[in-house]
Amino acid sequence: MPEPTAPPHPETSRRRVAVIGGGANDEHEVSLASAAAVTRALRALGLDAVPLTIDRAGGWRHTDGAALTPSEAVALLTTCTAVFPALHGVRGEDGAAAGFLGMIGVPVIGSPVRAGALGMDKWVTKTIAEAVGIRTARAVLLRADEPLGGLPLVPPFVVKPTTGGSSNGISVVRHADEYRASVRTARDAGDDVLVESFVTGREVDIAVFRDRTGTLHTGATLEIGVAEGELFGRTEKYDGTAQFTVPARITDVQHAAIEHAARTLYDTLGCAGVARFDFFVTDDGVVLNEVNTSPGFTEQSQVPQMFAAVGLPYVDLVRALLDATRSDEG
């Protein structure tokens, strides 16, 4: 695809920015796609982009495949003025990357350790959301070493790992005899498991970022086309069959409730960069599904579509995130 073009910005034109993709988790390929898109945008801005990859075993590599020792990776990263970790999932989005980069003194384009760790744990996110008045589905937490007893909730309910993303390890239990197999599937993708009441409603997402002046911006709402009673699964996310409606077909009151909840959680969790907040719109109001502090970030991903719909195309969104990081430095 041809690279997008945009005029250089006076505060970005002299910067050397590393982009980290991959990761030692099951979202490796998705992360590589996000990192490649960010790299294209940085180069369109006239920046010196330094793409790096974390392989599936946790090793560092140049994007051309050449291996780097950890000390070589640190030496390269510390030549950069900022790092964009386009990492999704555990050992990346969960605050690990932000913590590592903070320890070596390189500014991070994205959320800090606390927000990444809190947002990655769905049980903790639910607990915080409820504390600030944001509804979530009724749920029960099953610790990794906890033996299974009877059904914790009345079917239908959703079983999923408390960490991870891309709908890995998630299933709907409609009959009692499906419960144990669903928990095994979830535990294969993570340790602790969340059993959550199935919410009937439309899936609507919104994204938030804070600019260099400290102002919060939201993109348009995005509605995911999912058949009633079904989940937005991993296959639909990445095979091109997902149907998105931007803006979502919701009322002004519903939009206001979603935007208020997203802004509240962004600040409460301590997010930076861009974060995506996923909701269900039901007959009884808005219910939080989950938070993504490092959402998918290709040109066709949900978040860029949301901001493009309000007049902020992909390259300009990357520039705004980079400028906000420069402001944080100063």
Mean pLDDT of 56-79: 95
- CATH number of the structural domain 118-136+200-329: 3.30.470.20
Topology of domain 139-197, per CATH? Answer: Dna Ligase; domain 1 (3.30.1490)
Report pLDDT digits (tens) over 21-40.
999 998 999 999 999 999 99
CA angle 47, 28, 77 (to 5 degrees): 35
> Reduced to 3 states, what is the DSSP secondary structure of residue 223?
strand
Shortest CA distance to 26 belongs to which of 88, 116, 84? 88
Burial of 114 (0-12, 13-18, 19+ CB in 10 A): middle
In the chain, where the domains are located:
16-110, 118-136+200-329, 139-197
pLDDT in tens, 197-220: 999 999 999 999 999 999 999 999
Nearest residue to 258 via CA among 285, 298, 295, 235: 285
Return the CATH number of the domain spanning residue range 16-110: 3.40.50.20
- pLDDT digit string, tens, across residues 249-292: 999 999 999 999 999 999 999 999 999 999 999 999 999 999 99
Asked whether the beta carbons of 11 and 41 are under 8 A apart, the reply is no
pLDDT of residue 37: 98
Please, which residues have CB within 8 angstroms of residue 27's CB and are 6 or more apart in sequence? 88, 89, 164, 165, 166, 168
What's the average model confidence in pLDDT over 78-104? Answer: 96
**Residue from 137, 132, 136, 111 nearest 264 by CA:** 132
Give pTM, 2 decimals: 0.90
Contact call for residues 302 and 223 (beta carbons, < 8 A)? no
Measured CA to CA, the distance from residue 49 to residue 55 in angstroms comes to 19
Please name which of 32, 59, 48, 43 lies closest in space to residue 4, comparing C-alpha atoms: 43
Q: Is the pLDDT of residue 17 over 60?
A: yes
Task: Tell me whether domains 16-110 and 139-197 share a fold.
Answer: no
* In the predicted structure, residue 125 carries a pLDDT above the cut 50: yes
Phi first, then psi: give them for residue 44, nearest 5 degrees.
Answer: -65, -25
Percent of the chain with pLDDT over 90: 82
Pick from 313, 69, 253, 206: nearest CA to 52? 69
